[in-house]
Every structure is written in structure tokens, then in C-alpha cells.
Amino acid sequence: MGSFKSYFKKAFVVFLVLSFIATSFLAFDFGNAATKLNNTEKVFRALDNWPKPPLYQGNVFASGGVGYYGERFMFEGLFLIVRSTDQIFNRLAQSYEHKGNKTIVHLRKNVKWHDGQKFTSKDVWAYYILNNGVEVARRLDSIETPDDYTVVFNWHEPAPFPELRIIFLAQDRQGTIPYHIYKKYVDNAAKILSSAKKTNDPAKRGPFGYEITDSIRKQLDNNWQQFLKYNPKKPIGTGPFKFYAVSDTQLVLVKNKDYWDAKNVTFEKVVFYQVNDLSSQYAMLRAGKLENFNYTQPKDVLESILRANKDLVHYKMFDPACAGLLLNVRKYPFNNVKFRQALVYALDRTKIREFANYYATEYKKYSSLGIAQSELNKWVSVDTQKKMTDYSYNPKKAEQLLREIGWRKGADGIWVDPNGKKYEFYIGVAAGWEAVINYSQAVAEQLTAFGLPTKVKIVEGSTYWQKVQEGAYDIGTDWVDITWYSSDPYFYLSQTFGWIATINGLPRDPKTGKLTLKLKGPDGKEIDVAKILDEYPYTYDLKKRMKMVNDLVYAINENAFNIALYQNTTGVWINTKTFGGKLPMADQFAKYNRNMPLPTNKEDKRRIAILNLGFGGYMSLVNGEYQPK
């Protein structure tokens, strides 16, 4: 069964694994023509990464995929949710309705796969039957396909509240397993599932209410592995662009003339470049070789690019993710809340933010929140906020807390524990993640200067992610207070008490894997973290959900399991010479010298988020707002 966690992480390091050595195309050799394309050819150029030929193939789920952005341009889901703004677009779904525990989705009738086969409800069913490890599958009792263009999702009772149902469905890209291509594996998965028994025991309940025994799981996993080995020669999706050619350095897509909304697709060709180093990427951007580039560079680099090319504009945008230190509570002294709190007070997060991400929004008052700081006022009451500990930079408070737990500072300026032992702490970092390496080094310098010697340990990526889960480092690094999908607190908090809690080493039941964590809420009463997360999706009363969020956010801040250094500011570059339309904030380009500030009104936020390929996918190329210039 598939897992997307590590896949989604690639969004933040997508450019750090690329190669810029030219080789010939598999399907067609464009030579240097691609780099000379201009607006008259209606081409859209950006960066991406994909497996180099001959490893490139058409199975989205196979090792390396078909291109991070390439997949998003060639394949669609029922819905598309724009990260950070939560705008949801109907894509393969024409409409939907809720009836009791049923969500009925009506499909568009004029959708074809790129090989000409019709897209039907059987394809949606195939996606969930084969890819049955996704969250939606375990929340369903069954999927019905009464006709070719109707899909009925039968939610397990109690059903999630209606808004959350659509968000759950929008997480998935259902048009990625064409039944006519992968029938053998889909039918086998269906057969295996049907051999299992149904259960209502939450501890045993798997996809579609089946009890997944070790034997069933082994069969499903084996079938999934066989599916991954089946590699069509090229991707076959339903999206607005289809595969044309690939090499080590270029992935070329062309407009899908049979696309259901082809009239709004104004670009005829998409060329993705695979480039390994930042300097080469920046050189392409400066030279006007790209229509779109997703990233906010350090201040000096960003300003130099703008000076070099007057056609470029850079939009900054809120990222629902925060640069974080994940404290390993398995180990002493990080298992002591006062020690963790002392670390927060000891860090000058203003200086860290200025060094690592000048344009980011720093966390001055909170350790971490479980939700992005930009969401705090929306979900957490003023009364709760007043009760939350203020962690503004205060080294004297940090010293006080350390002394309260028996630590003392020696004549050499180094802190020792109650037994007189000195420590040297290690911050683990995945190699190649430039921003994280930068902020980790800044943190290590500050903690060392404070009297807690700390070093950064840079580890090869795959090794790091394995080791950090095992508790190999005193402090892990990753995004915290993050959502990869909707900004509903459930998705933030599921990350905080899911993947992030695994790195923290928070206590879990060894049999069920569920958190056994009990914390104090703002009213002083004990809260059961796992119970709240289990009940949230089925709580229809918004006020009750907000009470749940208030309790968890308060507890997260007080316990300082993580330290959020700043809320990330990301961005998108647009080449206004070749990419036209009514660009956001265009009347302010001169005022800000094309280095646009974070948007403040909802419409600008919406339109800028769509331009970012990692947030809005292909939407800027298919919504009719933009066109080649």
C-alpha cells in the first residue's frame, strides 16, 4: 500500500537533486530548440525533477514518480485544493451532494484518458481499491458505482462533518490508476479485501471496515509491490497536458486537445527542466528562461535577480509551515519540560529568522502551536491566548528554569546537570536542505554561546529520516505547525501528533500505535490527545471543535515539545515578458520594485497561491486568468 509522507516532503527540496547534463530525448530530440522557445509558441517553462531515462516510466506510484509537477499537470483528482487558501476546484467531479452518510459525486461526462479511453466511476473505484492505504479508505464502508458517471462514497458511521468529507476527497488524486491499464492489480486487491472480515472495532478496522490480519496485509502488500513493478512506457492521465518526450534534463508535455476544459488551456506546451544546483537555476531565472519559479531566496540574492531582469516579479506568500526544532523527549534532559522551555527562552529567534529566512514571520511569543501562527486568531480565543506562556527571548528566564531543575553554570560558562555532568547536544539535519542547515547552524551557535554546547550533524537524506524517527539525535529538524492540505486545524494537529510526535518520541500504545499522551488544557483539566483527534472529524458543532483546538494549542505551547523558529515565507517568480494576464498587485509593481510584500487581502492571497505550482498545481494555466504573452 502506498505512503505519501516522504513524497510530499520532496516539495521543499525538489530542486536539490537535479542534473543539468544534456542528453538526447527518448521520444524526440529537441536539441537546443526548447531553450529558444518564446511566447509565440505558447510555452510554459519551469523546473522539476524526475527519474532519468531509462528509469522514467508511466506509473505514478513507482520509484521516482513521473515528475513532481509533471504529475500534477498530467493527472487530476475529483477536486483540487489550493494549499494555504483552501480554495477547492471541481476537476473530474462535476458536482456533489451529501445524503446522510453518503457523499454522491457526479463525474464529468466528457473526460478521456490520454490514450482515448473514457474516464468513468470504475476508475475512481480502482484508485481506492488498489491504493487502499489512503485515509479516505479507512473512513469508508464501501464505494458504489451505480453508473459510469456516479460515485457513491458510503462513510462509516458516524460520518465526518460535510466540509471535512470534501477536504478528505480533495487530498487524493483519483485519476492516477486507469482501470483499463491496471485491471489485474485492482481486481486482485478487491479479491483480497473481500476475503477479509468486516469489523467495527476501531483498533482492528482497516480500509472499508475490513479487519486486516497479518495474512491479508501480506497479500495486499505483495499485490502493491507487483503493481509498482508494472511500468507503462509513458504516463497516461486525464490532465490538461500529456506526455510528449523526456530526457535527463527536459520533460516536455503538450496540450491535451481532448481535455474537458481545453478552451481555457491557453498554453500549448510545457517544458520542465531538471537542474542540479541553485546557481544554475538562478542563472536560468535571470536570463528569462523560465515563466515560473517557486522559491523565495535570501534577501541579497532575490534583489540581485530583480536588478538583473526587469521583466521578473517576485510574489511572497504565507506558507502553512514553520521552521522547527523537534526535541527528543526520550532522552534526558529533553524529557524535562522546564529544560525544553529554557531552550525556547534562550534562542533569539529574530536573529535566526534574519539569517535563515529574512522575509519569514518569526515566532516571538510561542514555543510552537500545532497550527501555523497565521491561523491562531482564527481558531484560538483571546482568553486562551492570555493564558498561554509567553516565550519571548529572555536568557535570564532560561537560566532561572535551568537552576530550578538543579543545573548550574560552571566557571567556564558551561552548564552542568545536578550530577555535575556536561553535555554536547546534536541537531540532526538532512543533507541538501539548505534552509534547515542554515537555521540549525544559527541555533547551535546561540545555544553554545549560552553555555549548552551544540553541534549540527548533517546526514544523508534517507538515513536522516530513518534515524530521526529512531531518536538518534537530541534535536531533530523538520517543518512544524504544518499542514500539507487544508488549513482546518485537524490537518495541522494530525501532523503534530502524528509524524512530528514520532520524531519527538511521544508515548504510544505498543499494540495500537495510538498516543497515550495526557496533557493539561487552559482550564487545568486533563485532556486526552488521541481522543480529541479521534472525535474531531465527527464533531459537527463548530464551537465544540474550536474548544478542542483551544485545548490542544494551549497544551502544545506549554509543553514545548517543538520550537517553531519562524513561519516560512515562500514565493513565486513570474516572467511578465512571456506570462501575461491580470497579474495580482500589478498596479504596485513600481512601488515595491517588483519585490512584492505578503498580500493582505483575500483576493490577492488567492490569486498568488494559484500561481505557485506547489500550492495550486496547474490551475494558473487552466482557469482562464493567464495566457502566453
Using one digit for the tens of pLDDT, what is the confidence trace for 474-529? 999 999 999 999 999 999 999 999 999 999 999 999 988 899 999 999 999 999 99
- 252 pLDDT more than 50: yes
The CATH code of the domain at 71-229 is 3.90.76.10
Are 469 and 312 spatial neighbours (Cβ–Cβ below 8 Å)?
Answer: no
Lowest average pLDDT, out of 404-413, 507-516, 571-580, 607-616, goes to 507-516
- 47 pLDDT more than 90: yes
- 265 pLDDT more than 60: yes
Task: Assign domain 322-367+377-483+492-555 to its CATH architecture.
Answer: Roll (3.10)
Residue 51 DSSP SS3: coil
Are 18 and 47 spatial neighbours (Cβ–Cβ below 8 Å)?
Answer: yes
- 16 pLDDT more than 60: no
Q: Return the domain boundaries, the chain.
A: 71-229, 322-367+377-483+492-555
What pLDDT is stored for residue 38 in this prediction? 55
Are 124 and 143 spatial neighbours (Cβ–Cβ below 8 Å)?
Answer: yes
- 28 pLDDT more than 80: no
> H helices of 63-200, where?
68-74, 121-130, 135-138, 162-170, 179-194
What pLDDT is stored for residue 15 in this prediction? 36
Using one digit for the tens of pLDDT, what is the confidence trace for 168-214? 999 999 999 999 999 999 999 999 999 999 998 888 899 999 999 99
- 26 pLDDT more than 70: no
Average pLDDT over residues 365-373: 97
What pLDDT is stored for residue 22 in this prediction? 34
Give the predicted TM-score (pTM) of the model: 0.90
Using one digit for the tens of pLDDT, what is the confidence trace for 278-313? 899 999 999 999 999 998 998 999 999 999 999 999
Average pLDDT over residues 62-79: 97
- 18 pLDDT more than 80: no
Average pLDDT over residues 321-346: 98
What pLDDT is stored for residue 1 in this prediction? 44
- 62 pLDDT more than 70: yes
The DSSP bridge pattern shows strands 361-362 and 595-596 to be unpaired
Instruction: Provide the mean pLDDT of the chain.
Output: 93
What pLDDT is stored for residue 39 in this prediction? 62
DSSP class of 510: T
- Indicate the angle between helix axes 542-559 and 489-496, nearest 10 degrees: 30
For cell 511578465, the residue is: 576
What pLDDT is stored for residue 366 in this prediction? 98
The C-alpha atoms of residue 246 and residue 487 are separated, in whole angstroms, by 36
User: In sequence order, which residues have a C-beta less than 8 Å from that of residue 482 and are 6 or more positions away?
Assistant: 320, 321, 322, 372, 492, 495
- 562 pLDDT more than 70: yes
Residue 30: is it exposed, middle or buried by C-beta count within 10 angstroms (0-12/13-18/19+)? middle
DSSP class of 184: H
What pLDDT is stored for residue 40 in this prediction? 81
What pLDDT is stored for residue 314 in this prediction? 98
Are 66 and 74 spatial neighbours (Cβ–Cβ below 8 Å)?
Answer: yes
What pLDDT is stored for residue 36 in this prediction? 46
User: Per-residue DSSP letters for 64-93?
Assistant: TTT-HHHHHHH---SEEE-TTT--EEESSE
The C-alpha cell of 542 is what?
A: 463548530
- 428 pLDDT more than 70: yes
What pLDDT is stored for residue 464 in this prediction? 97
The C-alpha cell of 56 is what?
A: 522514467
Average pLDDT over residues 68-97: 97
Kindly tell me the number of DSSP H helices and DSSP E strands found in the chain. 23, 24
Using one digit for the tens of pLDDT, what is the confidence trace for 135-164? 999 999 999 999 999 999 999 999 999 999
- 443 pLDDT more than 80: yes
